Structure 1
């Protein structure tokens, strides 16, 4: 069964180093700012300092509650090596009721 949601987000950042990405993911989950984090390799093409960059990066997707968006953004900014780390959020429109309740429960323990 699925359920509609307006209180959950998937928040994303990237990192250029796998070990640092995994550490950031674990630190965020330990802080209960997200119920889980997924880390995977991507290729990013972007403007930076007047030039197009093409770089291997590690994407981290965090499953969290919308009310934790600001604290999670602050945590990422404080613990990230990038001068301007990507932090974007996408609302969860629908999903497995049991999974979404698990995300709520795990982040409520904060």
Structure 2
């Protein structure tokens, strides 16, 4: 992974909730930046049935060092019983951007 950067993703059932989850993580320096993708359509199994829902994908730019705290914070503030939580390794990128992510997620 490039400088230990990862992209962590979850989803939310509304734009306001997605914005709150994004802002809260950035304010706490758990992520350097967050992208919210406009509504996507999700299909999934839930309680033995196929469900469909409109969701907003939230992508956190963070580091492996901050990942455990971000995950704990997300589970505390997320309204879903079982929120999506996946991480994607970053294998390369602009050194300036990768350094910025590390700098912005470093604890004061």
Q: State if a TM-score over 0.5 links the two structures.
A: yes
Instruction: Give a deviation string over 1:40-67, Cα, whole Å, max 9, x none.
Output: 1211111111111111100100000011
What TM-score comes out, normalization by structure 1 length? 0.92
**Residue 25 (structure 1) aligns with:** 22
Give the Cα–Cα distance (whole angstroms) in 1 for the partners of residues 67 and 50 of structure 2: 29
Match of 1:16 among 13, 16, 23: 13
User: Gaps spanning 5+ residues in structure 2: where?
Assistant: none
Give the Cα–Cα distance (whole angstroms) in 2 for the partners of residues 66 and 106 of structure 1: 13
CA contact (8 A) 1:6 1:91 kept: no
Alignment of 1:84-103 (within 5 A): 84-103=82-101
**Residue 62 (structure 2) aligns with:** 64
Q: Structure 1 residue 109: deviation in Å?
A: 3.9
SS in 2 for 1:37: strand
User: Gaps spanning 5+ residues in structure 1: where?
Assistant: none
2:56 maps to 1:43: no
What TM-score comes out, normalization by structure 2 length? 0.94
Give the Cα–Cα distance (whole angstroms) in 1 for the partners of residues 86 and 74 of structure 2: 11
CA contact (8 A) 1:5 1:93 kept: yes
SS in 2 for 1:94: coil
* Cα RMSD after superposing both structures: 1.2
* Structure 1 runs (4+) greater than 3 angstroms displaced: none
